[in-house]
Structure 1
Amino acid sequence: MPTQLSEAELGRLDAIICSTRLVRRGETLYRTGDAFKSIYAVRTGCFKTVIAHRDGQEQVTGFHIAGEPLGLDGVCSDEQNCDAVALEDSKVCVIPFDLLEELCHDIKAMQQHVHRMMSGEIVRESGLMMMLGTMTAEQRLATFLMNLSSRMKARGYSAAEFNLRMTREEIGSYLGLKLETVSRMFSKLQKQRIVDTNGKQIRIIDSERLAEV
């Protein structure tokens, strides 16, 4: 949330957060086609968003960690456009969108912040399209790790060492790569001493070389 809010404005914001919801690992926060009523702030844990194709295959469209919003894709059509699935036991703050709109009308800083969040979603989508269309497999994985590192740092976590809550297969689905390719690229980066992997734990050894991949 914006840091420049007064105590009274923060109080109004707290008042519209109607509940905190626990979502167990593997459970769905919302599904494609659900009526859009609220946006969610990930308080703890991690989610993936997925779109199911007609043949039953799933396409991962994003990963969302603590401190990030969920559900903004429903604003345009008044219904959710993907499934949001918890990758671990997670908690979200539920924010009714109609009450948030009223708050944005009264508090300009809040309105600007919501606009920035929506703009961030557009930038993320365009970045994904560019990555899938122009980058090699190694570049895709390197970009994914650098992006996750910067998001961890922005939220007060270590930028160099963190756990991947998603599987290699889910990473592959997001990056448009086969599981075998993702595993091979991780092994390549490890042999080059750019990253070190131990199960789901990742340690970025040389961030400059990772950025140059």
Structure 2
Amino acid sequence: MQTLIITGGNIDDAFTLNFIKENPCDLMIAADSGMEFFYRNGLVPNVIVGDFDSVKEGVLEYFRKNNPDIKVMKFQPEKDETDTELALRTAMEAGCEKIWLLGATGTRLDHVLGNIHLLGMAMEQGCECIMLDAHNRIRMLKHGIRLKKAEQYGDYISLFPFTPTVKGLTLTGFKYPLHKYELQCYHSLGVSNEITQEEAEISFEDGILLMMESRE
């Protein structure tokens, strides 16, 4: 089961509409002002989640009036979780195995960093969660991965340790290979690598990696 979550960061409508067309999901969730994307594009989410403190006036009322089957989950603004976390938890409680998270990047870097942390929450629950925008695809890894050059997202792949160290990191098929390297926090060594072979491999023995694929 796949879920699409649209949250309230920067949304490129053309990119997002094309993504929805090419990646049909079983469940679509609007997190707070993320519902504005659905509203202006004539789409209807299955679930709306949030405290609704940032959505434009009239949008929620429109959905409630015209789409009575939508599940609306309203929370108090004074809560521990962000609206995006509530949406993520809703998806996992519904049995979702893969979550696409769009609208999770933007000018509020505190929210961006918080959303990156949520990738780990999903990972720990056995759910694959991918943050996506027109320029970046972001995933958290606790195991190695193979990447086909033809399927990569842009030209650059950056790796960041999300634990103090990532031990035994080996990169093959990359412009800058590594062998059994101990990648530590507070360094920029993993930024802007490139795949040079038809298939590349990232493997490591211990730790958690944040992988960002980026394009200009």
Same fold by TM-score greater than 0.5: no
* TM-score under structure 1 length normalisation: 0.30
Q: If each structure's helix is expressed as a fraction of its own residues, which one has the higher value?
A: 1
Q: If each structure's strand is expressed as a fraction of its own residues, which one has the higher value?
A: 2
* TM-score under structure 2 length normalisation: 0.30
